[in-house]
Amino acid sequence: MKSILICGATGFIGRNLLEFYYTQNKYKIRATYFNSTPLEGYDSVEWVHCDLRDPIQVKNILNGMDIILQFAATTSGAKDIINKPYIHVTDNIVMNSLLLREAFEQSIEHFVFPSCTIMYQRSDNAIKESDFNPSEEILPFYFGAGHTKVYLEKMCEFFSRFKKTKHTVIRHSNIYGPHDKFDLEKSHVFGATVTKVMTSQNGEVKVWGTGEEARDLLYIKDLIDFIDISLNQQTTYYELVNVGLGQGIKVKDLVQKIIIHSDRDLTISYDLSKPSLPTSLFLDCSKVKKIFNWEPKYTLDEGIIETLNWYKNNII
């Protein structure tokens, strides 16, 4: 049985990956945590407290592993992206650089790295991977984090050229679902909206900004489905693909959908004084369909309903 390392296993995506592979019972699982505690109910999982910014700890954590799912990161929501953009740069560069080097040194079989879409420009049309132009200025509030992601994508490509480790780079859209961040100080638009809708006491949901910006939202189970397919099907040493729903929805329309599926009678208001990210984009996922025969299985409405049911059973 192969061994799989899930970095950041107590975070949103990492925890969902842990649940999936634990029930699959096809890998020996090692899971890292840092600013948290091991999760209960995973008896066969090897939990290791690890600071991924320390090269010695990184060397030890990768020892004996076949597959690395690198979902540890310094992340937060729109407030920090605007007010403290530097927190998404240094730590993420250090930990991923160390992991990638050590994966090469130990001849790890497969390394999965989640990039994102913040390097893309605003667009009213579906964006392909090739639409990213490095000579164009990345949007100011994404400048640091965007260039960090591009650098790490190139590091994956660099190490892939030694033909020892397969690298899968995922430019995924906004992910949502169970175990998302629902804290208004740290959450992204979906998690924040769910919290506002489900906790409103005055019959109103307040949206930060105008609500006109559009987002491509992918349900977490579809992302995990792609990751599992890539582990089983990728034959090349490097692939970079968009992974999203392939549709954009305005934030104000998303809020309305969540209200409808929550069965709550609420109105929407807009607070233009609050920080928001005025970008609109959605992904062209034709490349991932062609290479991996992957496409999302969940509609936005189906994902919203499942997430709200999980929230009612686990948060409220």
26 part of a folded domain = yes
Most confident of 182-186, 197-201, 290-294: 290-294
Average pLDDT (197-206) is 93
- The CATH code of the domain that includes 146 is 3.40.50.720
Q: Please name the residues in contact with 152: beta carbons below 8 A apart, sequence gap of 6 or more.
A: 92, 93, 96, 97, 100, 113, 115
According to DSSP, the β-strands at 267-271 and 204-208 are: parallel
**In this predicted model, which residue has the larger pLDDT, 93 or 76?**
93
Distance (Å, whole) CA 167 – CA 157: 7
Distance of CA 287 to the CA centre of its chain: 19
Q: Is the pLDDT score of 205 beyond 80?
A: yes
8 Å CB contact between 22 and 45: yes
8 Å CB contact between 304 and 257: yes
CA-nearest of 310, 287, 36 to 176 is: 310
235 part of a folded domain = yes
DSSP string, 209-275: S-S--EE-EEEHHHHHHHHHHHHHH--SSEEEEEES-S--EEHHHHHHHHHHHHT---EEEEETTS-
8 Å CB contact between 171 and 117: yes
125 part of a folded domain = yes
pLDDT digits (tens, 9 = 90+) for 212-257: 889 999 999 999 999 999 999 999 999 999 999 999 999 999 999 9
pLDDT digits (tens, 9 = 90+) for 104-160: 999 999 999 999 999 999 888 999 999 999 999 998 888 898 999 999 999 999 999
pLDDT of 88 reads 67
Percentage of residues in the chain having pLDDT higher than 70: 94
Q: Is the pLDDT score of 102 beyond 70?
A: yes
192 part of a folded domain = no
Instruction: Name the CA radius of gyration of the chain, rounded.
Output: 19
Tokens 């062209």 belong to which residue? 284
303 part of a folded domain = no
pLDDT of 124 reads 86
8 Å CB contact between 176 and 303: yes
Instruction: Specify the range with the lowest mean pLDDT, choosing from 11-15, 39-43, 274-278, 305-309.
Output: 274-278
**In this predicted model, which residue has the larger pLDDT, 271 or 154?**
154
According to DSSP, the β-strands at 46-49 and 67-70 are: unpaired
Percentage of residues in the chain having pLDDT higher than 90: 81
pLDDT digits (tens, 9 = 90+) for 43-90: 999 999 999 999 999 999 999 999 999 999 876 545 555 566 666 689
pLDDT of 280 reads 81
63 part of a folded domain = yes
Give the CA distances from residue 226 to residues 155, 168, 169, 207, 220, in Å, rounded to whole numbers and listed in that order: 22, 11, 11, 32, 10
Q: Say how many domains are in the chain.
A: 1
49 part of a folded domain = yes
Handedness of CA 245, 249, 253, 254 (dihedral sign): positive
Domain coverage including residue 224: 3-179+217-247+280-297
Handedness of CA 123, 244, 170, 15 (dihedral sign): positive
In the structure encoding, which two tokens stand for residue 150, read together? 């591009």
Specify the amino acid at residue 205: V
Where does the chain have alpha helices with state H? 12-24, 55-62, 78-83, 90-105, 143-160, 189-199, 220-233, 251-262, 286-292, 300-314
Phi-psi region of 32 (alpha: psi -120 to 50; beta: other; left: phi over 0): beta
Quickly count: other Cβ atoms within 10 Å of residue 201's Cβ.
5
